[in-house]
Structure 1
Amino acid sequence: MQIDREQLMRRKLPPGYARVVMPLVLSILMSGVVSAVATASNIGPGASFTAAWPNAWVASWMVAFPTLLVVLPLVRRLVAIIVEQPR
């Protein structure tokens, strides 16, 4: 069963959800990368990395997501002060 593009477009969330979805996706990606780098630098690549990294990722994400929810509005304000807005 193949979903066409029009069906996919109708399944999008309303714009108000962007406040939560953006920090959610950003926190998943960033905590994954940062925890992978930290884990690899501490224990090196290999079987021990594969066993340790998922736990490090979950712990990192549990801090990253709520932090982004709180900090992102402040960051947007600071960026608006520093960067000229389009006209």
Structure 2
Amino acid sequence: MLFPPRYAPLVVSVLMTTYMAGLMTLAITLVNTGLEAGFLGRWIKAFLISWPIAFSLITVGRPLVLRLADRLIRRS
């Protein structure tokens, strides 16, 4: 185990935002500029801008989203 269990929310936030920001910026950069020269640089720049924003939003919003999801899930 690399991290103690108390760090689970932070580890999940890092992994989820890296995954989502990476794929979203890849798709958007590809659609907007195509696979032209300099694509990798444009994608990395977009990722480096979007990841901190995504991480901040998830870190702050995660508890609210979890509470909302809990209210929306029907219990038997």
Q: TM-score if structure 1 supplies the norm length?
A: 0.79
Larger radius of gyration: 1
Rounded to whole Å, the distance in 2 between the matches of 1:43 and 1:85 is: 47
The superposition leaves residues 35-65 of structure 1 with CA deviations (integer Å, 9 ceiling, x where unpaired) of: 1111111100132211210010110101000
**2:63 alignment partner AA:** P
The one-letter code matched in structure 1 to 2:50 is: S
Instruction: Determine the structure 1 residue equivalent to 2:69.
Output: 79
1:14 is the counterpart of 2:4: yes
Structure 1 residue aligned with 2:51 = 61
- Matched residue count: 76
Structure 2 unmatched ranges of 5 or more: none
CA offset digits 1:5-46 (Å, max 9, x no partner) = xxxxxx331111011110110010100011111111110013
| 4+ runs deviating over 4 angstroms | none
User: Partner of 2:60 in structure 1?
Assistant: 70
Name stretches of at least 5 consecutive residues in structure 1 with no aligned partner.
Answer: 1-10
Deviation at 1:85, TM superposition (A): 4.5
In 1, Cα distance between equivalents of 2:19 and 2:72: 26
**What is residue 24 of structure 1 aligned with on the other side?**
14
TM-score, normalization: structure 2? 0.90
- Using CA pairs below 8 Å that are at least 6 residues apart, which structure has the higher relative contact order? 2
